Structure 1
Amino acid sequence: MKPLLRNCLLLVLMLSASALALSIRPTQKIAALGPAIDLGTIIPREFGDWREEQHNFVQMVDPQQKEVIDRIYTQTLSRTYVNSKGYRIMLAIAYGDDQRDSMQIHYPEVCYPAQGFLLKNKEKGDLITEGGIIPVVRILTSLGQRDEPITYWTVVGDTVFQGGLQKKLAEMRYGLNGKIPDGMLIRISSIDSDTEEAYEIQANFANQMLAALAPGYRHKINGNL
């Protein structure tokens, strides 16, 4: 093949690839298709046996520096709740209306060690709720004498994921349909040396919180179960 013809063919292929990439470039945020997200309003300050503790006695761990959080997330919510027995739960929710490669959610097993915590264990599990089963990740962290078991799950669009591959495939599926998915990370933790007890109480907390949400928002947080 003559060099001129070969170069022309390469140019045509490059232009075609660019046109295809542009044609399937996602442009519509799915966050704009549903009810507006206002975490402070969506999540009740009291539900079941839990109420927000106005004066937090527990130091909550910030998953990233403020400037990074402001860049990645559209909204964040951090509260401490206490039940009738005095047990405290720390709830943190991070929401981003643009869940693409440059705006990826940061996970607790990365954020906690970055702040000096020791990651002692990580396992996948199921959170059984009245609305269905939510696949979650449970990790155990420690800082000095402080043990902090954590339960969290991630939602992209309308699906909960435990693994990065499934999450990436969902993002690609939305992208091929011209849509930009939103994402949410829900983290529940407590300072407790009894890990099994902590996870049990965290499951109870999650159930009561989800039951108190309006159906539309419940589906947004539990992956449309």
Structure 2
Amino acid sequence: MSLWFRNFILLILMLAASGLALALRPTEKIADQGPVIDLETMIPHTFGDWSEEQQNSVQMVDPQQQEMIEKIYTQTLSRTYLNNRGYRIMLAIAYGDDQRDSMQMHYPEVCYPAQGFSLQSKQTGTLATANGLIPVTRILTNLGQRNEPVTYWTTVGDQVFQGSIQKKLTEMRYGLNGKIPDGMLVRISSIDAEATHAYEMQTLFTDQMLAALTLEHRQKLNGILNPARP
């Protein structure tokens, strides 16, 4: 085989690979196909035993600096809720309509220490609600006298994931179908010296919040299409 012919074949293969990559490049945002996401109206101000506290007496911990929020997320929501016994829950939701590799989420176990908190523990598990089981991550953070247990979960498209491998596989599944997935990080925390009690209250809060959502918005938040009571 002559050098010219070999180079010609290599050129053809390179062009074919380039064309295939372009053809497989996702172009369709799934955020444009489902219900419109407006976190402010999507999450009720009052549900179950909980009502939004208008004058927040608890300092919220921002998940990341403002410039990073604007780069990664399309919308964010931060609220403090109070139940009829005076227990406070802090809710933070960050939503991005493009969750490919260039738009990576920032997780609480990274963001809290960046703001001076110490990370006491981290564990994965499931959060049981009347609308299904949600895979979650729980971390215990501390800053001086402030003990803040945190429960959070993340979604890509219509699926809750745990870990970078599962996230990548989900992104690839959408990409091979020409779709650009959206994503969401839901963080629920409370200032409580007893972590077990805090996680119980956060589970109750999540259960009642999901029950108050429309079916489409609930599926968007918990990634469960066919829930069954645990």
- TM tier, shorter chain? over 0.9
Match of 1:120 in 2: 120
Aligned-partner Cα distance in 1 for 2:150–2:140? 6
Secondary structure of 2:60's match?
Answer: coil
How do 1:161-180 and structure 2 match up within 5 A? 161-180=161-180
Secondary structure of 1:103's match?
Answer: coil
Residue identity matched to 2:3? P
Match of 1:46 in 2: 46
Q: How many residues align?
A: 225
Match of 1:4 in 2: 4
Secondary structure of 1:138's match?
Answer: strand
Aligned-partner Cα distance in 1 for 2:197–2:148? 12
Question: Is it true that 1:25 corresponds to 2:20 in the alignment?
Answer: no
CA contact (8 A) 2:161 2:167 kept: yes
Unaligned runs of 5+ in 2: 226-230
Match of 1:193 in 2: 193
Residue identity matched to 1:110? V
Question: Is it true that 1:35 corresponds to 2:35 in the alignment?
Answer: yes
Aligned-partner Cα distance in 1 for 2:29–2:114? 31
Aligned-partner Cα distance in 1 for 2:7–2:114? 49
Match of 2:78 in 1: 78
Q: CA deviation at 1:145?
A: 1.8
Aligned-partner Cα distance in 1 for 2:58–2:5? 70
Match of 1:135 in 2: 135
Choose 1-10 or 23-32, whichever is displaced more.
1-10
Q: Deviations over 1:105-159 (max 9, x none)?
A: 1111111111111111110111111111111100111112211100001111111
Aligned-partner Cα distance in 2 for 1:149–1:6? 63
Q: Deviations over 1:87-118 (max 9, x none)?
A: 11000000000010111111111111111111
Match of 1:148 in 2: 148
Q: CA deviation at 1:197?
A: 0.3
Residue identity matched to 1:207? D
Aligned-partner Cα distance in 2 for 1:8–1:106? 46
Secondary structure of 1:62's match?
Answer: coil
Q: Deviations over 1:49-91 (max 9, x none)?
A: 1000001011111111111101110100000001111111000
CA contact (8 A) 2:149 2:198 kept: yes
Aligned-partner Cα distance in 1 for 2:144–2:113? 13
Aligned-partner Cα distance in 1 for 2:2–2:109? 56
Question: Is it true that 1:106 corresponds to 2:106 in the alignment?
Answer: yes
CA contact (8 A) 2:132 2:224 kept: no
C-alpha RMSD of matched pairs (Å): 0.9
Give the share of equivalent positions with the same residue, in percent: 70
Q: CA deviation at 1:6?
A: 2.5
Aligned-partner Cα distance in 1 for 2:6–2:189? 61
Residue identity matched to 2:44? P
Unaligned runs of 5+ in 1: none
Structure 2-normalised TM-score? 0.95
Q: Deviations over 1:177-212 (max 9, x none)?
A: 000000001000011110000000000000000000
Residue identity matched to 1:150? V
